[in-house]
Amino acid sequence: MPKLYDDDEARRPILQPDTDSEEPPATGSRILRQSDDDELSQGRTGCGTSACCNPSSALHRFMALILMCLVGFGSYFCYDNPGALQDKFKSDLDLSTSQFVWLYSIYSWPNVILCFIGGFLIDRVFGIRLGTIIYMFILLIGQLIFATGGLINQFWLMILGRFLFGIGAESLAVAQNNYAVLWFKGKELNMVFGLQLSFARVGSTVNFLVMVPVYNYVRNMGYEGHQCMGVVLLIATLTCVMSMLCALVLGWMDKRAARILKRNDNPPNGEVAKLSDIGTFKITFWMVTIICVAYYVAIFPFIALGKVFFMRKFGFTPEDANTVNSIVYIVAGVASPIFGLIVDRTGRNVLWVFLSIVVTMVAHGLLAFTFYNPYIAMITMGMAYSMLASSLWPLVALIVPEYQLGTAYGICQSVQNLGLAVISMFSGLIVDEGGYFMLEIFFIGWLVVSLIATIVIWLYNSNNNGVLNMSPAERELHASKLVGEYESF
C-alpha cells in the first residue's frame, strides 16, 4: 500500500498561526496549539506578550524569513566579485579569459559531489541548524583565503579559496532551502523561495554596483595592482561575517521555536534518509535537475562574462557595462517575491517554468541577433529568471518527502554545479576562440534542452496525479482525498 498519508503529511505547513477551533489536532499531526506550551500561555511578560516573540505568529516567522535571506547575502555578494571586476582581475593579476573563468568553474567543481553529501549530512548527521553554521564558516574561510591570494599575488591560493568558498556556499544554499520548507511549507512556499532569491540577487546587484567604486577608492588610497585587489576582496569579506551572525541568530530562533511549539522534526514513522533513497526518486525530480543545469548555465556564465561582452558589442564604459550586466539581478530582486505570490495564488508551477524558459530564449536571441538596447533584453531575462526560480525550486517539495529534502536539494545543487563547472570552462574557451556570438548560440542550445525537460515533466505529470500543475485549491482537494483513502483502511 503506498504511503499516502505520509506523503500528504509531509506537505503540510509546519508552523501555522493559532486558531480558535476546539477540535483536537489530527493523529500524527506535528502542529500543536499555542495553548499547549506554558511559555506562551502562562505568565507571559515583556517580549513574551508580543507577536515578535511568539513562534506561531506571522511576524515572528517573517523575522525568521529575513534572517534566512540574509544568511545567503554574503555568499551571493562575494560569488560575483570577479564578475564585477573582470577587467581589473585580468589586468592586475595578468589573467587570460580562460584563467579568469577558472575562478567560477573551481567554485562549482567540488560541489559535483560535496553538495550532495552536504545535503545528506543535513538530513542524517548535522541537522539544519548546525549544518547551516558549519557551511557558513567554511564559506567565510574560503573568502578570506581568496582575498589573501589576491593580496600576495598567488593565483593558486585564490583558486584554493574559491574551492573552499564553493563547498560552503552551495551546501549553505541547500540548508536555506530546508529552512524555507521547515518554516513555510504550504501556501507561502513559492513566495518564500522568491523572496530568498530576491535577497540573493540583491547581494549580487549590490556587488556589481559597489565593487568598482570600492576598487577606485582603495586605489586612491595608494594601493596598486594585486595589492589593491586583495584589499578590495577583504572588504567584501565583511558581508560574509554579517551572514555568519545571521546564521547564528537564526539557529537560536529555530531551536526556540522547536521547543516552544513542541515541533517534531523527526520524519513520519521514524523514516530516515538513506543513500538508497535516490533510486526511488521519480522521473519528474530528475527532469527538475536537468532544468537546474540547462537553464542556469545560460544565466550565470553569461553574467560572469557579460561585462566585456557589453563593452565590445555596445561600446559601453566599464561602469555602464557593469550596470546593464547587473540588470538581471536588479529585476530579480524586485520581481522574485511578486512572482512567488502569483504562483502561490495560481499554482500551475510547470506552466510557469515553461513560460520562463521561452522568455529567456527570446532575451538571449535579442542579444545574439540584434543591436537593440540591451537593457530590454536584460530586463526580459531578469523577469524570466525570477519566474523560473519562484516556480521550479518549490516543485522539489511537491515531489520528494520532507525527510529526503536535504538529499534531494543537494542532488539538484550537485548536478547544477557539474554543469556550471564544465560550461564555465567551455564558455571561456568559446569566447577566446569564437567570440561572444558563438557563446550566445551555445546558451540558446542549453535553453532548448531545459525546454524539452519541462515538456517531459508536463507529460508525465498529466498521465499521473497531475499535482505539479494543479491550482492551490485542486492540490488541497487532492490531499484531502489521499488522507480519506488512508483513513478508510
Report the 10 Å Cβ neighbour count for 46: 7
Please write the tens of the pLDDT for every residue from 46-83. 455 565 676 667 777 778 888 888 888 888 888 878 87
CA-to-CA separations, 163 to 105, 231, 405, in angstroms, rounded: 9, 20, 25
- Most confident option among 112-116, 171-175, 398-402, 457-461: 457-461
Q: Mean pLDDT over all residues of the chain? A: 76
Query: Is residue 226 pLDDT above 60, yes or no?
Result: yes
Query: Is residue 348 pLDDT above 80, yes or no?
Result: yes
Query: Is residue 236 pLDDT above 70, yes or no?
Result: yes
Query: Is residue 453 pLDDT above 70, yes or no?
Result: yes
Residue 479 confidence class, pLDDT cut points 50, 70, 90: low
Query: Is residue 383 pLDDT above 80, yes or no?
Result: yes
Helix axes 374-399 and 283-296, enclosed angle (nearest 10): 160
Q: Can you give the pTM of this predicted structure?
A: 0.63
Tell me what pLDDT residue 17 has.
40
Q: Name the least confident of 1-10, 175-184, 220-229.
A: 1-10
Instruction: Please name the residues in contact with 283: beta carbons below 8 A apart, sequence gap of 6 or more.
Output: 456, 460
Q: What percent of the chain has pLDDT over 70?
A: 77
Residue 208 confidence class, pLDDT cut points 50, 70, 90: confident
Query: Is residue 125 pLDDT above 80, yes or no?
Result: no
DSSP 316-346: --HHHHHHHHTHHHHHHHHHHHHHHHHHHHH
Residue 423 confidence class, pLDDT cut points 50, 70, 90: confident
Cα 39 from Cα 54, distance rounded (Å): 10
> Is 250 or 8 the better-scoring residue by pLDDT?
250
- Most confident option among 110-119, 161-170, 332-341, 380-389: 380-389
Residue range 171-190: mean pLDDT, rounded: 74
DSSP 109-173: GGGGTHHHHHHHHIIIIIHHHHHHHHHHHHHHHHHHHHHHHHHTT-HHHHHHHHHHHHHHHHHHH
Cβ atoms of 58 and 74 closer than 8 Å: no
